[in-house]
Chains A and B, each alone.
Chain A
Amino acid sequence: MSASSSQALEYLELLPRQTHTKLYEQPSTVLAIFRCMLPHLAKSIVMAMLYMTGPFPSGDLDAWFKPDGKKDKEKALSVLEQLHIILGKQDSQRHISYELYKGFAHSLRQALTGGGTHRSFGVPSSQLDSNKVSVTFLDEYARKQWENILFYMVGSTVGLTGSNMVGQDIGEGTKALLRAGDFVKVAHGRVSITRTGFTFVLQETNAQVWSLLIVYLKHAPQLGMSETDVLSFLFMLGSLELGQDYTTSTLSPTQLQMLEDLSAFGIVYRASKTSQTFYPTRLAVTLTSDSGALSSDSLSSSLAPSSRSTPKGFIIIETNYRLYAYTSSLLQIAVLSLFTKLTTRFPNLVSGKLTKESITRAVKLGISSSQILSYLTSHAHPQMQKNQPFLPPTVMDQIRLWEYEGERVETTNGFLMKEFATESEYRDLVSYAESLGVLVWRNDAKRLMFVDRIEQISLYLGKRKNRGD
């Protein structure tokens, strides 16, 4: 579960049960959810239960976990219940036992054995394509499309709008989507980036793709598309093979419509709008995996285009806050200039300095210090990566200090729980919340606690009540 897929997980968790049930009809979707969305232990639990003949009594499940694994178990179970993958049942003797939802189990078995006739892993085009495109072409195409989008967002703020080099030729649909996702806002005909937009830009490419697609998903009903259809198509795309052409003949009308939008993002490539085949690009095939190969250094894991074009990292930071970036990409320079005072530009290098003004300016724009740091870390030059941590600690601390100067209070949205009847009830709930990782604050003397998510807690409370009565 990486940062990128956790967004998708959050989205998925909020879907109602009907949608889940429908989604789980497709083995490819089930496999993708299994591979990317589930916490590590949840995978073990699902697999252990997959070929089990009967339900799994919770007592046995508890016995299977070591005492210190309890916290992880609770977390895994809560995700699984949230996603409607497992079902906790109570029999007459009040013994809880778990079993997998039939649809999910069936599809996952099919995905593992390759049985059935669901054709959900994409149907390769049968006839030979006369002008088959290469993988490098696809990478180039995806990179261009995606950078266009980013550039459209960043360009205005940095003041590069005048240059008509790249960035303005993105489709109306995409622009509308960016506005809808509150990534940019248009005022007086000028496009300016928003707070969420910055978050978006500074993410890794894979995470960016997911953020955009989630916005797309949320607006799918307005465009007359069914959410499940869209989702399962996305998951199918994630399980396709790069460089292989797939036929469009088996796709539903919704999916055909999507194909157009996705090719605007650079997620798939079609030779023309009427073409009978489509190619997934690297953006698509990495949707459900961080990387294809074993060489998954956490940094190179974003096999995505932007980090491709400039192999791995390019930024060097010295302890005196000077920054050197080996890049000629306008986009990267633009992003850097959001929080750096750039001074010099050479053909393959820009240099500048992180200053108090530049950081405070960025913070005012809505960029947080951790975003800056994670951007710098994930693009650190290989030379920097030899250090542990990659960035000089002084610089990291200073950037945070500069940010904290402006804000002394941190807010968290959530729920305050109070007026517990008994101490034991309070203790029980606190430990449950803690094991879920939703507990933000507690006061034992006043029996108060504050959580940032309530769904699981209320479920648990309900169960508790049942048990207690």
Chain B
Amino acid sequence: MADSDYEYMEDASDDDYIGDKVSSSTRAHSGAAGGKKRAQEKPRKLQAWETSRSVQKITESIVQEVEDGTRHMSIREKEEERKRKRLRKDTKPFQRGIIRHVVLVLDLSEAMLEKDMRPNRYITMIKYTQEYVREFFEQNPISQMSVLGMHDGLCIRVSELSGNPADHIAAIQGLRFPRDPEDIPKEPKGSPSLQNALELARATLYHTPSHGTREVIIVFGSLLSLDPGDIHQTIKACVRDRIRVSVIGMSARLKICSEIVTKTNAGDESEYVVATDQELLRELLLATTTPPVVRTPQATAIPAESTAALMMMGFPSRVVEDIPTLCACHGILTTGGYTCSRCSAKVCSLPITCPSCQLTLLLSTHLARSYHHLFPLRNWAEVSWKRAREKGSRECIGCLTVFPEIPDEDGESGGNNGRELNGVDRMQADGDDSEEQKASESSRYECRVCESHFCIDCDMFCHMVLHNCPGCLSRLNPASEAQSSRDVEMTG
């Protein structure tokens, strides 16, 4: 359903995580305050020894422009612009792979003993991946994960493919502190083998149903891969099996990694990222918790019909018992849990696949957790002074914070023709969601459906945490409900 145009957009936005900051910021500047920016850039082109008079002239003009309190404004705008840049740029409802099958491959080779992250890469990675697993299942409750490790030339299985975060976290922890005191902790050793890892991941993912995604996420600290055979054959096999590989590197970029990523992601290299420090590593890991966009079938060369399916799922109720009974999942005595809707076996926690009848058991809340990926809140538009005057908005609908006063009309039309023009531009470009997010000159942001105005903080909160528009939901009939039939269908 998503055509390739949007796909490209999405990829570009992912690009941002790598640190493509420079280009994106210039893009942002070229919009609202474009004229001013260009004026500032001009002197830079002049060589220093060239006439100082012209520079002076230009600075004068800037000073004049800024004089009437707009300097203060522009600082505020900068701040808001910075905030807004973090908003998701892809509010077009993409089809996303909500049901994910992910193999997380950890590098356990000796390169992980490097101390550029504190205390070393290995411990940092272990720490962050535990956090990551938790967040992953928060975001993707009906997904499955398996953890592998590249250790001393081999690829070892750390945890089986399952949907229970606790298992994975325990297994990852077990690498350093084995539960069985007899075992020796797995210290990083030898060289990694990407080929072995991919082969094992491919085998793990082979039997997964076709309606889910198959992803491999590799945390890779080494600068080499010691493979037993031709890795290119393995890559081809991965492509055939619709496996998408993302790599999070820790040292330099590697040609082989970028090749793996490009080939398995339909020519898109943005899934290969390199963490330069531990904060970035954490961010990059967490970035992969957002479900990936589903590509058009041609790219993956898989018949369209098999990509979507109707899945049978059970929604069990919680039971509280007075006498402890055995649970079907661990075989231990518990006094409460959930009974499978089909076979009435008792399980301890959800989501889980019923151990006796293989029915997927979950809570409706788990499904609901993914809805905001599917029906994202559309980005709000910047509001020009003109528009603000039209609406006469004085405070944020969400938090009742008072907006800055709307300036008088005469003063406005006199000095700020450029701004007015920009306002018109923006209104025209309204339909385009993927437009760069800019700061609004009036500190107001407008929901395109209900035409309510919000402040920057509510804008951020609603788009990043709440995923609701308080304005639309506070009315029975948001102004133009016809705009997105999908939303209405969902809410109505």
> Within 8 Å by CB, do A and B touch in the complex?
no
**Which of B's residues lie within 8 Å of A, judged by CB?**
none
